[in-house]
A and B are shown apart, each in its own frame.
Chain A
Amino acid sequence: MTSPTLTNTVLYLDGVSVTFDGFRAINKLSLAIAPGEMRAIIGPNGAGKTTMMDIITGKTRPDEGEVFFGGMIDLTMLDEAEIAALGIGRKFQKPTVFESHTVADNIRLALAGARSPFSALFGARNRIAEERIDAILSTVRLTEHRTRLAADLSHGQKQWLEIGMLLAQDPKLLLVDEPVAGMTDAETAETAHLLKEIAHEHSVVVVEHDMAFVRDLGCKVTVLHEGSVLAEGSIDAVSANERVIEVYLGR
């Protein structure tokens, strides 16, 4: 891949590899996400989905390859906080919210704005408009749980809260790792709807196992296998691809 594609991508990976103690988690992975695009990434366990997210968000440094954001910013040079500040939000596989804070506070902490300890100590962060919190809570359908401790939420609600926190960050790119794991069908449908809503003004990358869910999303699909791209295209196209069937759907 070369620069023309690079310039008009929000996220761009080229020839990225990383190894843990000899095991190649990511192998010459290349991927490009256009602005405003929604992309589903599927693949068997150990295909390197989560590791890819670690690399994009600066948690893991790649051994080789380049990772660019918005065309020109080299993510391999930055750490999590800086990358988050750039506008990349991430939702973990296992829902991680601040259990000993109320739902509202979870959102409050996530809302865009100054992040330095001093702004947090003296004012700035303490004067956050409740309206914005309300807005987000209503998008993620948690308004009535505003004052509850995050710890007391149901699994699905936690997933949503975390998505809500992503929204609060108001990122250009959302990385969503298995958002519907352990959700009821109703919740799953809800989530799909929610993500599509979000995708209107953000680029979204969704990692998921649940094929039905991916189908609901109705977006371009990338299949990872052993750390590199196996196939790319519409859900029907990839489901037709026999190598995909062989390594993944087949089982």
Chain B
Amino acid sequence: MSRLLCLILALACGLFAAPVCAAPADTGDALLLIASGRFPDIEKGVALLARSGDARTQAIIEALRDGRLAVAADKRVVIEGANGSWSEAATGEALAEAPPSPKAVRLNNRIRRAVEAALGALTLMAPDAAARRQAAEAVFRSRDATALATLDEAIAREEVAGIRRLMGEARAAILLGDAGASDLQKIEAVDILATRADQDALALLRAAAAQGSPTVREAAEGAITAVERRLAVLSMLQNVWYGLSLGSVLLLAAIGLAITFGVMGIINMAHGEMVMIGAYTTFVIQELARTHAPGLFDWTLPLAIPMAFLVAALVGVAIERGIIRHLYGRPLETLLATWGVSLILQQTVRSLFGPTNREVGAPSYMAGAFDLGGLTITYGRLWIIVFSFAVFSALIVALKATSFGLKIRAVTQNRRMAASMGIRTSWVDTMAFALGSGIAGVAGVALSQIDNVSPNLGQSYIVDSFMVVVFGGVGNLWGTLVSALTLGIANKFLEPFAGAVLGKILLLVFLILFIQKRPRGLFALRGRAVEA
């Protein structure tokens, strides 16, 4: 493998590189440069190492990437292996005893880039597909002309179509920037990049259109217009997606309120704090996982959902039993009492967990993004959308299909009648409030993934939540759904033109005017029932 690689590299870097391959001494020089501790030299060192074609190259560079490459007091460059074993960087032979005070070689962005490029060229033919994909992307980014030959070789051997395409694009990227390449190659490259048709491709094409022969320029310009058209359409879709995800966040934040405020008529100013409690529950569970069972980290969120529901619901029960129970029929008083409650809850959390933000990590499946026909879909957002809809449907089912839901509706529509039919109304109230609070708590789990987990978390959502519920029409869950999504998407379409602030202002003004037209929100009940 390594000899082959050396051979290829020799071909690649032409005459002047040939001797390089012969003499692994260069590895020594490279390591000296790396040991220097000066970023520019380290960078040179990496480049030299990459060209040297020494069998050790990959191991050394990977060690550097992972911060396992260290310089001992005696200027020897060593690699830290698993369980504290050490080995000589240049030769790879293990060391009997740990070297004197090894200091890990520090990285900065430039060196990280160099490392990526080098590894890219080196791992193009790695057995592991994922590694090859990464390598192709790295080369595409680095456009390192020396990798061209390796690339051709790799393309020839590659079975996986997707990866082959990526490599082709990387190759095109190199050729387009390469003065040596013929117009024919370049035009071919232009076509390949035109099919890739994303921002990076556009950038390359623009560069090509700027310099290069008329024919190439022409081809490039044609491609550019095509790509731009596609991107314009995409950005529309992207906006819709952003709107959806923002809407789903609003939905999550508001949905609990749709119960306590919408259905029960309690102006629940402590709603935001319920969300906050949910977020902190998530934090606590993650802390426990970190300290006791690191393996379970990915399970913390699924675990947090029921817990958050439980905790928030219990707090809800306490509030309802302790305070709100005495205030039925006096909705405005509930505003004052719950306002007091929210102050207390905030301060409690502040004294328990401290005022600073707490870290809630993203499990593997929440991190990163994937590409859907040019749309960047981030997993986190995707899950949140799915989650919010799941919660919503669960709630609908709970209210429409279960006897508990039936009781809630009965009580909220006609308390006295329900009571006379043997429903324990006070119990139903408690349960309903607990349900609303619990759902708020569950929302907190999701919000902990995208926002601060701090005592102020709730405050930042309370106003929006009320807007959503009112806009949708109090007491109408479907209204809440529609209004959340509408506001979300509208917001995202306004933002690019008006900017975030103005967009929000416009939205609020619209909301005020809308309420003039439909004084009871989107989905208001008509008829005499309303007056009663």
Contacts and interface: CB of A to CB of B under 8 A. Distances in A.
Interface of A: 20-21, 23, 25, 50-51, 54
Interface majority SS (helix, strand, loop, mixed), chain B: loop
Contacts of A23: 527
A21 B525 contact: yes
B528 A21 contact: no
A51 B527 CA distance: 9
A249 B47 CA distance: 102
B526 A51 contact: no
B62 to A, nearest CB: 69
Nearest to B527: A20
Contacts of A25: 527
Quick one: which of A20, A25, A51, A54 has the most chain B CB within 10 A?
A20
A23 B527 CA distance: 10
A50 B528 contact: yes
A27 to B, nearest CB: 15
Given A20-B528, A21-B525, 9 more contacts: A20-B526, A20-B527, A21-B526, A21-B527, A23-B527, A25-B527, A50-B528, A51-B528, A54-B528
A71 to B, nearest CB: 29
B521 to A, nearest CB: 15
B329 to A, nearest CB: 15
Quick one: which of B525, B526, B527 has the most chain A CB within 10 A?
B527
A80 B154 CA distance: 84
Nearest to A25: B527
A51 B526 CA distance: 12
Leading 4 A-B pairs by shortest Cβ distance: A20-B527, A20-B526, A21-B526, A21-B527
Interface in B172-227: none
Interface residues of B, number: 4
A137 B499 CA distance: 65
A61 to B, nearest CB: 11
A206 B527 CA distance: 22
Nearest to B531: A59
Contacts of B528: 20, 50-51, 54
A51 B531 CA distance: 12
Interface string B512-532: 000000000000011110000
A54 B527 CA distance: 10
Nearest to A18: B527
A21 B525 CA distance: 8
Contacts of A21: 525-527
Interface in B412-449: none
9 contacts: A20-B526, A20-B527, A21-B525, A21-B526, A21-B527, A23-B527, A25-B527, A50-B528, A54-B528
B143 to A, nearest CB: 65
Contacts of B526: 20-21
Contacts of B527: 20-21, 23, 25
A23 B526 CA distance: 11
Interface in B488-532: 525-528
Contacts of B525: 21
Nearest to B525: A21
B523 to A, nearest CB: 11
A24 B525 CA distance: 15
A50 B526 CA distance: 15
Nearest to A54: B528
Nearest to B526: A20
A50 B528 CA distance: 9
Contacts of A54: 528
B58 to A, nearest CB: 72
A34 B528 CA distance: 28
A177 to B, nearest CB: 12
B257 to A, nearest CB: 25
A21 B528 CA distance: 11
Contacts of A20: 526-528
B177 to A, nearest CB: 66
B478 to A, nearest CB: 14
A142 B404 CA distance: 49
A21 B476 CA distance: 15
Nearest to B529: A20
Nearest to A23: B527
A25 B526 CA distance: 12
A50 B527 CA distance: 11
B530 to A, nearest CB: 10
A34 B465 CA distance: 55
A195 B527 CA distance: 30
Contacts of A50: 528
A51 B528 CA distance: 8
A78 B38 CA distance: 86
Interface in B291-343: none
B211 to A, nearest CB: 68
A207 to B, nearest CB: 14
Nearest to A50: B528
B479 to A, nearest CB: 14
Nearest to A21: B526
A178 to B, nearest CB: 14
A20 B524 CA distance: 11
A47 to B, nearest CB: 13
A152 to B, nearest CB: 20
Interface in B95-121: none
A216 B525 CA distance: 39
A49 to B, nearest CB: 11
A119 B58 CA distance: 94
A84 B528 CA distance: 20
B529 to A, nearest CB: 8
